[in-house]
Structure 1
């Protein structure tokens, strides 16, 4: 058949229109998409109903097949395109499994392990990497090159959440699961890695670590906005933030003049051969500041909070030291909120009591001790003997990870006879001119390491503390001072940089404590 040019053009246009309609129809039905945390090399929590989720076209059926079972489960995307599904995982093993998601398209997730998954969060001491990082404070652990070279365990894996500030709840983040080997492990969280290494060594379970950290950040940045709004003592944090928002424009207007004056003063200092003044800091925009309340929860916890985990490890508190009394309420509220998100009020939550440093007062450690005492299913690794007076980032992260791992090993993994804590203050009794102190977690007994017991003080009704002698008597201490005839209170390691030496026979240090409840430096400071 011979077509005339006009007829040919007409048919060609019809075919083009049909192709365009088919293309648009295909585009209208979106590909299924998974969050970045559900990806190759991931670790799923063993013996659990684990959450899987993603996005597709509204009403689209999404099936999930998993290689440890012949069955498949189907989910339907809601009106917003979100779908959720739960699958039952088997016991931990070193077998590599796969997951296949089928909808408009097919996604296969490979090299999936079943084991134990821990969310690892906090500020710089949790972020602190095994090897030297780009920031000046990221010095790496002791002898980090040798340490990295010997790391080769494909059954320990870490997913690092990208640092993200957000004013609204994010539904996804960026990151990838990586196996622990010399190429990848350099930038693993050191505390998290040593923690995982200890658990793996004792259990043989594959370990998945989800590291969501940001240096220099306070706990309120990791706390849901609604939690801060619902409590009058915490709502002042939002008021402080609102004031910062209001003052920021004027601060930015003032900044050029401050900078110009600094430049002038610096030039004059050079001429006089004297030390130049410190440059004025550029005002931080509260909207994008990692220290602002709830921003990191939105950007770095919300996207992965649906991922099924065994528990949480946390290393933070340095940035809340100036508001330590407030932290007594803030920290437990944050823990409860995260547990609410996981629909599990028994979710293990183990944390590190911060190390000595000249910027860290005793009251922040007390707030952490009180959290352990008052919040069930928590544990606290004491590191009062692992400080660096000049560096808030002690390099011996192996000790921290090991002490932290004692808690789940004893409480979650069946090693019930394993000592997991040093002595913790329990009660006091006044006996004439002495005070008797009793402890929990004494284990096989108290010991003074390297000589007489140090860092004890005692006071009478005048609230004036004097250096005291402390002696071990059974599983208790007897504390006294010739300067205090009628004592009423004892304190131990109650300063920023103490050098205590009270341990139990398992080699675990006692936590700093005080027997009094007299107003401290941070009470009322909101």
Structure 2
């Protein structure tokens, strides 16, 4: 009897091992990317090939080293469809939509749920949750997981947008996806992989860390906070998503690197490029949020914002949503996530979906001209000039050759910004919002805020009244 049971258990184990499996992103209710070859992939222990059926077509994927992968033909938005994957067993997924798929990642401001968490609310979330039912918006949250080595599996479920699921989902990602879905009128799928309090190096592949950032200051083995170690979240939450086909990435992170901001541009840029390389889907869009001002905690936040701006300026097909006007002085998790998500969506709509007649970025400093004791500042992304939106122009400082900054006056005349101080007769440098806490007061005519900036590269930060 015992021998028979042993043989039975062995047989059951062998059969389960021999089953064709598919990556956990493939489920009922999923959204697949339109107008691109669609990657379908998984494992098979004994089969030589896997048969895939989708939209009336049959494909055969070869199994190599127990892995299989195949790209379905490009297809237009639509659905619902059924996907069949067959080896010795058969897996059938239903209610599949074709549309736009975006990966949403970062730390706590991306992880922050619609219902609010970290002891903080989301502005207007209750009514948004109430009205959130939408069959054409689908959500997937990757369960938090860290690993010292790259893994191939994740946990999570595709859910239809409705109050029960939306209240638990990333607020920034939800508002982003909602605006895309309503504007494009096609299905949208959002995959959120985020973990609060984490630095960019945790989301960066180990080969990048070991070859490009061996001596990066601030890195060590975090035994109380293991999720902060290099590569562990890339290994556990990003690597297993590859090569799932999507349109692009939105990212909200930076606070975790503010205390050692010096190499953030290089690190963040390398992280973006490594994701693109490893996915092998070209230079897909990568849009991110500049961290909001904060009045506590220190950490040279203005310098971190500057490194994020430099990343946007140096990495192609990237864009940055500015939050200089919606920070909260004593709250690292600003409640105004709707504006954040929508500002990210403006980048995608303008750059990827053909909406050429909209503004998508706030003013970015371009150059300066000195006229007497005044400096006239010029900006990109402000074709009709700049405005204060009736706010008092604040947080400008100006300096001469002595590199001592004084609080400056500022005036906008016919869209042109002039800055001066009676204490500086020959100005050579201007800074705007270049400190931890600032309430942004400079915008373009679309109401999008300017990034903080400086025209100099001095170490001095002395400011006199």
User: TM-score normalized by structure 1?
Assistant: 0.83
Superposition map of 1:130-149 within 5 A = 130-133=114-117, 137-149=118-130
Query: Does structure 2 conserve the Cα–Cα contact (< 8 Å) formed by 1:129 and 1:189?
Result: yes
Tell me the distance in 2 between the aligned counterparts of 1:376 and 1:138.
37
Query: Does structure 1 conserve the Cα–Cα contact (< 8 Å) formed by 2:181 and 2:187?
Result: yes
Tell me, yes or no, if structure 1 residue 57 matches structure 2 residue 45.
yes
Tell me the distance in 1 between the aligned counterparts of 2:174 and 2:184.
15
**Cα offset for 1:29?**
6.6
Tell me the distance in 2 between the aligned counterparts of 1:403 and 1:25.
51
Query: Does structure 2 conserve the Cα–Cα contact (< 8 Å) formed by 1:129 and 1:138?
Result: no
Superposition map of 1:501-520 within 5 A = 501-519=441-459
Q: Relative to 1, partners in 2 of residues 1:345 and 1:230: Cα closer, same or farther, differing over 3 Å?
A: farther
Query: Does structure 2 conserve the Cα–Cα contact (< 8 Å) formed by 1:162 and 1:174?
Result: yes
Tell me the distance in 1 between the aligned counterparts of 2:166 and 2:332.
23
Tell me which structure has the larger Cα radius of gyration.
Answer: 1
What corresponds to 2:21 in structure 1? Answer: 33
What corresponds to 1:224 in structure 2? Answer: 205
Q: Relative to 1, partners in 2 of residues 1:76 and 1:144: Cα closer, same or farther, differing over 3 Å?
A: same
What corresponds to 1:469 in structure 2? Answer: 409
**Cα offset for 1:141?**
1.2
Tell me the distance in 1 between the aligned counterparts of 2:261 and 2:455.
17
User: Paired residue for 2:137, among 150, 156, 161?
Assistant: 156
**Cα offset for 1:25?**
10
Q: RMSD in angstroms over aligned alpha carbons? A: 2.3
Q: Relative to 1, partners in 2 of residues 1:21 and 1:126: Cα closer, same or farther, differing over 3 Å?
A: closer
| Farther off after superposition, 439-448 or 295-304 | 439-448
Tell me the distance in 1 between the aligned counterparts of 2:373 and 2:16.
83
What corresponds to 1:258 in structure 2? Answer: none
**Cα offset for 1:450?**
2.4
**Cα offset for 1:494?**
0.7
Query: Does structure 2 conserve the Cα–Cα contact (< 8 Å) formed by 1:363 and 1:520?
Result: no
Q: Relative to 1, partners in 2 of residues 1:240 and 1:395: Cα closer, same or farther, differing over 3 Å?
A: closer
3-state SS in 2 of match to 1:485: coil
**Cα offset for 1:22?**
10
Tell me, yes or no, if structure 1 residue 330 matches structure 2 residue 267.
yes
Tell me, yes or no, if structure 1 residue 446 matches structure 2 residue 432.
no
Query: Does structure 2 conserve the Cα–Cα contact (< 8 Å) formed by 1:439 and 1:475?
Result: no
Q: For residues 236-265 of structure 1, give each alpha carbon's deviation from its aligned partner in whole angstroms, at most 9, with x where no partner exists.
A: 24x854xx44xxxxxxxxxxxxxxxxxxxx
Q: For residues 259-296 of structure 1, give each alpha carbon's deviation from its aligned partner in whole angstroms, at most 9, with x where no partner exists.
A: xxxxxxxxxxxxxxxxxxxxxxxxx517x711111100
Query: Does structure 2 conserve the Cα–Cα contact (< 8 Å) formed by 1:128 and 1:138?
Result: no
Tell me, yes or no, if structure 1 residue 44 matches structure 2 residue 25.
no
What corresponds to 2:58 in structure 1? Answer: 72
What corresponds to 2:249 in structure 1? Answer: 312
Tell me the distance in 1 between the aligned counterparts of 2:9 and 2:350.
63
Query: Does structure 1 conserve the Cα–Cα contact (< 8 Å) formed by 2:150 and 2:235?
Result: yes
What corresponds to 1:189 in structure 2? Answer: 170
Q: For residues 376-395 of structure 1, give each alpha carbon's deviation from its aligned partner in whole angstroms, at most 9, with x where no partner exists.
A: 11111111011111110011
Tell me the distance in 2 between the aligned counterparts of 1:424 and 1:48.
33
What corresponds to 1:273 in structure 2? Answer: none
| Farther off after superposition, 177-186 or 55-64 | 55-64
Query: Does structure 1 conserve the Cα–Cα contact (< 8 Å) formed by 2:387 and 2:415?
Result: no
Tell me the distance in 2 between the aligned counterparts of 1:125 and 1:87.
35
Query: Does structure 1 conserve the Cα–Cα contact (< 8 Å) formed by 2:47 and 2:88?
Result: no
Superposition map of 1:83-482 within 5 A = 83-93=68-78, 95-133=79-117, 137-231=118-212, 234-237=213-216, 241=219, 244-245=220-221, 285=223, 289-358=226-295, 359=297, 361-482=301-422
Tell me the distance in 2 between the aligned counterparts of 1:392 and 1:22.
54
| Farther off after superposition, 174-183 or 55-64 | 55-64
**Cα offset for 1:146?**
2.9
Query: Does structure 1 conserve the Cα–Cα contact (< 8 Å) formed by 2:47 and 2:87?
Result: no
Query: Does structure 1 conserve the Cα–Cα contact (< 8 Å) formed by 2:139 and 2:161?
Result: yes
User: TM-score normalized by structure 2?
Assistant: 0.93
Tell me the distance in 1 between the aligned counterparts of 2:128 and 2:15.
50
Q: For residues 66-112 of structure 1, give each alpha carbon's deviation from its aligned partner in whole angstroms, at most 9, with x where no partner exists.
A: 1x2x2211112212x1111110131112x211100000100001111
Tell me the distance in 2 between the aligned counterparts of 1:65 and 1:138.
47
3-state SS in 1 of match to 2:376: strand
Tell me the distance in 1 between the aligned counterparts of 2:276 and 2:378.
32
Tell me the distance in 2 between the aligned counterparts of 1:402 and 1:22.
54
3-state SS in 2 of match to 1:187: coil
Query: Does structure 1 conserve the Cα–Cα contact (< 8 Å) formed by 2:142 and 2:191?
Result: yes
